[in-house]
Amino acid sequence: MSVAEAAALDDATLVARSRDGDMRAYEQLVRRYQGPMYRLALRIVGSTGDAEDAVQDVFLTAWRRLGQLNDDRAFIGWLYRTTTNQCLNVLRKRKPHADTELDEHESPAPRTRPDRAVEVNAQLDALQAALRGLTPEQRACWVLREVHGRSYDEIAEAIGTTQQSVRGRLARARAQLAEVMAPWR
Amino acid sequence: MAVTSDYVLPCGRDVEEVWEAIDLSGEHMRSCPHCGAVRESLLVLREATAEMVREEVEPPFDLVSRVMSAVRADVRRSDVVPLPGDGLARISTRAVAAVLRYAADGVDGVRARGCRVVEAPESTGMDPVIEVELSIAITAGQVTHQAYDEVRRRVLAAASARIGVRLARLDLVVSDVLEG
């Protein structure tokens, strides 16, 4: 199978093949979704090391549980749920004082773009800092909805709560974030 | 659906209402300083959020290979059969094979060669059952048909006494005859 052929395969095909023990098919799935899952994990846990560990655990768990997935097309939603859960567990286990040891989130490569771009980047940094002021569940709700565009239904399932509660957490998260962003008006 | 948040403004509206009407230019929104200020903050938030969506932080280059190493190791580990109990303790089929080969080696004139161990379909965590195919080399002149019964007896005993699994089926294959 050439790389081009493999790249063209849809999720459901790759999931079905992976379930039969095809590790090459599974590797394609990992390649396809490691980016979004890593970014989600990084935004929720805030440190690159924990995000990497979480994503690695998620894909290993997913491999082991492929047999339990009823609908091959549901793989991506299931990944989002598992990653969110894994990240919230990491945060629950973390000692309270460890929050001060978080990375300065990824500010990849020095940002050298001038003027307006500098301001935008500074706003992004401020937003990343503000996210750390939310509770883990609020942060997960907000990131899943506003950055990854997941549905309320999916988020409720990922967090283990109701849609109503997700909307409540989102509202509080948004209000709190807006307050922190106020100096940038 | 409006969600009442704890962030009520002095004008009686809350932040979420301002968010929902952020692109509408109603009379209140235009004239109310509280709503106007919150709207400005929400616009900044919206802009920064869009930037976050565009931001492509890439995972470490070796993440895929780390995941796949873990998957491969897991596949190797899954070559196991349960030990009696709650079904959580497992033993690798290779370890089982080593014990059974050793048991067969105890019979004079018999050398165990290959030993393939699989979990039997009826096996459960409470009552683990295995099926085994054991190939042996025998030394010509030393082995009688009683020796095969002895191999069978010892292998069965080792499975239950040394490992704790029931041996439901033992296929014994003489794969070689050595000169005595």
The domain limits of chain A are: 1-97, 115-185
Q: How many CB atoms lie within 10 A of CB B106?
A: 13
pLDDT(A101) > 50: no
Per-chain mean pLDDT for chain A: 85
Interface test with A, best of B41, B46, B75, B79 (most A CBs within 10 A): B41
B71 in any annotated domain: no
Per-residue tokens: A59: 């894909």
Q: Are residues B110 and B151 in the same domain?
A: yes
| Closest alpha carbon to B35 in B56, B54, B8 | B8
> Does residue B5 fall inside a structural domain?
no
Q: Are residues B114 and B159 in the same domain?
A: yes
Domain holding B167, by residue range, is: 83-178
Which pLDDT value is given to residue A48? Answer: 94
pLDDT at B46: 94
Query: What confidence score (pLDDT) does residue A97 get?
Result: 52
Domain count across chain B: 2
Residues B97 and B171 occupy one common structural domain: yes
Question: Which of B54, B70, B103 is the endpoint of a domain?
Answer: B54
Residue B161 lies in a domain: yes
Contacts of A35 in chain B (CB under 8 A): 56, 58-59
For β-strands B129-139 and B166-178, DSSP reports them as parallel
Do residue B98 and residue B167 come from a single domain? yes
Q: Which residue has the higher pLDDT, A183 or B67?
A: B67
> What residue has token string 């895929």?
B64
- Which of helix, strand or coil describes residue A92? helix
Inter-chain contact A181–B37, Cβ cutoff 8 Å?
Answer: no
Confidence of residue A59 (pLDDT cuts 50, 70, 90): very high
CB < 8 Å & 24+ apart, contacts of A139-144: A139/A43, A139/A44, A139/A173, A140/A44, A140/A84, A140/A87, A140/A88, A141/A166, A141/A169, A141/A170, A141/A173, A142/A169, A142/A170, A142/A173, A142/A174, A142/A177, A143/A40, A143/A43, A143/A44, A144/A40, A144/A80, A144/A84
One domain, residues B87 and B50: no
Domain co-membership, B27 together with B107: no
Residues 6+ apart with CB under 8 A from A77: A150, A154
Tell me the shortest Cα–Cα distance from A161 to chain B, in angstroms. 16
pLDDT digits (tens, 9 = 90+) for B66-108: 999 999 887 776 678 888 887 678 888 888 998 999 999 999 9
Residue B70 in domain: no
Bigger pLDDT: B1 or B126?
Answer: B126
Using CB atoms, which residue from A43, A60, A171 is nearest to B71? A60
Q: How many residues does chain B have?
A: 180
Query: What is the percentage of chain A residues whose pLDDT exceeds 70?
Result: 84
Q: Where are the alpha helices (H) located in chain B, listed in sequence order?
A: 15-20, 27-31, 33-54, 63-77, 93-105, 145-158
Confidence of residue A23 (pLDDT cuts 50, 70, 90): confident
Residue B82's contacts (CB-CB under 8 Å, 6 or more residues apart) are B89, B90, B91, B119, B123, B124, B125, B128, B165
Average pLDDT for A5-19: 76
Which of A2-6, A104-108, B69-73 is most confident? B69-73
Is residue B95 located within the same domain as residue B150? yes
CATH class of segment(s) A1-97: mainly alpha
Regarding whether B108 and B34 lie in a shared domain, the answer is no
Encode burial over A100-132: b for 16+ CB neighbours within 10 A, e otherwise. Answer: eeeeebbeeeeeeeeeeeeebbebbebbbebbe
Q: Are residues B24 and B110 in the same domain?
A: no
Say which range, A78-87, B86-95, B135-144, has the weakest mean pLDDT. Answer: B86-95
Residue by residue, DSSP assigns A145-183 as IIIT---HHHHHHHHTS-HHHHHHHHHHHHHHHHHHHGG
User: Is B97 inside any structural domain?
Assistant: yes
Residue B1 is predicted with a pLDDT of 42
Q: Is the minimum CB–CB distance between B57 and chain A shorter than 8 Å?
A: yes
Query: Does some domain include residue B67?
Result: no
Q: What is the mean pLDDT of residues B40-68?
A: 93
Give the per-residue pLDDT at A111.
47
Q: Across the A/B interface, how many CB contacts are shorter than 8 Å? A: 127
How many angstroms away from the CA of B136 is the closest CA of chain A? Answer: 32
Q: Which of A23, A35, A167 sits opposite B3 (nearest CB)?
A: A167
Residue predicted with more confidence, A16 or B172: B172
> What number is the average pLDDT over the span B41-61?
93
Domain check: are B46 and B114 in the same one? no
Shortest Cα–Cα distance, B81 to chain A (Å): 16
Amino acid letter, B30: R
Q: CB-CB: which of B15, B66, B71 is closest to A178?
A: B15
Q: Tell me what the mean pLDDT of segment B5-9 comes to.
A: 73
Q: What is the mean pLDDT of residues A94-113?
A: 52
Give the CATH number for residue B162: 3.30.70.1350
Q: Region of B128 please: left (phi>0), alpha (psi -120 to 50) or beta.
A: beta
In this prediction, residue B28 carries a pLDDT of: 86
Same-domain check for residues B95 and B48: no
Q: Is the ipTM of this complex over 0.85?
A: no
More confident residue, A33 or B178: A33
Residues B87 and B49 in one domain: no
Q: Do A24 and A2 meet the contact criterion of CB atoms below 8 Å apart?
A: no
Q: What is the pLDDT of residue A114?
A: 55
Interface test with chain B among A42, A111, A170, A181, by most B beta carbons within 10 Å:
A181
- Chain A hits for B1, CB-CB cut-off 8 Å, are 167
- B115: in domain: yes
Residues A73-91 have a mean pLDDT of: 93
Q: What is the pLDDT of residue A100?
A: 44
Percentage above 70 pLDDT, chain B: 94
Phi, psi at residue B151, to the nearest 5°? Answer: -60, -50
3-state secondary structure of A112: coil
Nearest to A177 among B3, B43, B45 (CB): B45
Q: Which CATH architecture has domain A115-185?
A: Orthogonal Bundle (1.10)
| Closest approach of A148 to chain B, Cα-based (Å) | 7
Query: How many residues are recorded in chain A?
Result: 185
